[in-house]
């Protein structure tokens, strides 16, 4: 059996071989490249053993969430199974266990008052610079459509279209390779995006971009805004309105959109379609959450025994 000699060559071969969606291939490639860099740092890039995989797992446990570790080990196990099948060496990943998935904080939605306070703050800051005009448009888009931050990152100006007089944005959803779905945009939110694009005044492809230090409209350093930039911006806005907690994040705006839609007459099916959930069971989480908040059974029982709360 031929021994593995150069992971730098074998990893691209494996990525080309596996029959999965392109977006999943990119994820596998990213995880395997990180693994290779770790092996390089410990001088084991071409002679890894089972111990190196275990050491890498321990290395990750100090740095990232358990779900990320599980993804990384899935890619590594698949790679070494392929290496064994192709005759490059033993499957040194056999029996390597992923860590137990830890529960994450549930991202809480904003109530109507908090949502209005957030957009009011973003609107005020939008007067100060192009960067904040962009941020206001992004926040408005997130909170009224339930988009994910990755969908904002991937959006291009050409994805803005009209269908029967309605402004829409075609998006590449979670787990999709193509922009085969769209969300509707209100006239007001569209005007915010339009104002930003007019002031930006360039023909760049990304719908939202990173700008210079002072929000300049042009410059060689301009590039597509990334999810980390969006998350940081939203988190900073949340802090500014007094919501400085782990339970509030950019993803809270997706929850907020779903919750407000249900509270204001939207059906479960309509909310499911808006959020593009495959299963309505996922959408029902928002319905159950609302019912729990409005179910005051414990207080009612206490009032019977002890009298009404003052």
pLDDT tens by residue, 254-301: 888 888 887 877 777 787 778 777 676 666 666 656 655 565 654 665
Residue 1 CA to residue 188 CA, distance in Å, equals 65
**Beta bridge partner(s), residue 181:** 171
Burial class (CB in 10 A: 0-12, 13-18, 19+), 273: middle
Q: How much is the mean pLDDT over the chain?
A: 84
- Which of the following CATH numbers is that of domain 112-294: 3.30.360.10, 1.20.140.10, 1.10.443.10, 3.40.1390.10? 1.10.443.10
**In the chain, what are the domain boundaries?**
7-85, 112-294
Coil vs helix vs strand at 18 = coil
| Whether 178 contacts 154, CB under 8 Å | no
- For 169, the enclosing helix (H) or strand (E) is strand 166-171
pTM of the model: 0.62
pLDDT, residue 213, reads 55
Q: Running DSSP on this structure, what letter comes out for residue 115?
A: H
pLDDT, residue 216, reads 41
Q: Which residue has the tokens 């006239």?
A: 187
Q: Of 232, 238, 244, 239, nearest to 256 (Cα)?
A: 238
pLDDT, residue 138, reads 96
């Amino acid at each position: 059996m031929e021994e593995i000699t150069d992971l730098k060559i074998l990893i691209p071969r494996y990525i080309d071989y596996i029959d999965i969606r392109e977006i999943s291939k990119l994820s596998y490639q990213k995880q395997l490249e990180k693994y290779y860099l770790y092996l390089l740092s410990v001088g084991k890039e071409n002679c890894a053993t089972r111990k190196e995989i275990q050491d890498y797992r321990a290395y990750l446990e100090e740095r990232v969430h358990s779900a990320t570790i599980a993804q990384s080990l899935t890619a590594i196990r698949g790679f070494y199974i392929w290496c064994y099948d192709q005759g490059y060496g033993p499957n040194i990943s056999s029996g390597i266990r992923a860590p137990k998935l830890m529960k994450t904080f549930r991202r809480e939605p904003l109530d109507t008052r908090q949502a209005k306070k957030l957009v009011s703050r973003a609107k005020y800051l939008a007067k100060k610079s192009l960067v904040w005009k962009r941020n206001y448009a992004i926040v408005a888009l997130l909170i009224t459509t339930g988009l994910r931050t990755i969908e904002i990152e991937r959006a291009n100006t050409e994805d803005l279209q009209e269908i029967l007089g309605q402004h829409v944005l075609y998006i590449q959803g979670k787990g999709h390779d193509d922009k085969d779905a769209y969300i509707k945009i209100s006239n007001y939110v569209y005007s915010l995006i339009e104002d930003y694009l007019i002031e930006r005044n360039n023909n760049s492809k990304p719908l939202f971009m990173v700008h210079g230090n002072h929000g300049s409209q042009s410059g060689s350093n301009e590039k597509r805004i990334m999810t980390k930039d969006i998350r940081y911006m939203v988190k900073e806005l949340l802090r500014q309105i007094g919501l400085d907690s782990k339970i509030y994040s950019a993803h809270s705006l997706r929850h907020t959109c779903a919750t407000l839609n249900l509270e204001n007459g939207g059906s479960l099916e309509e909310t499911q379609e808006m959020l593009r959930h495959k299963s309505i069971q996922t959408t029902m989480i928002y319905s159950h959450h609302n019912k729990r908040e409005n179910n005051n059974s414990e207080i009612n029982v206490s009032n019977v025994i002890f009298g009404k709360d003052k």
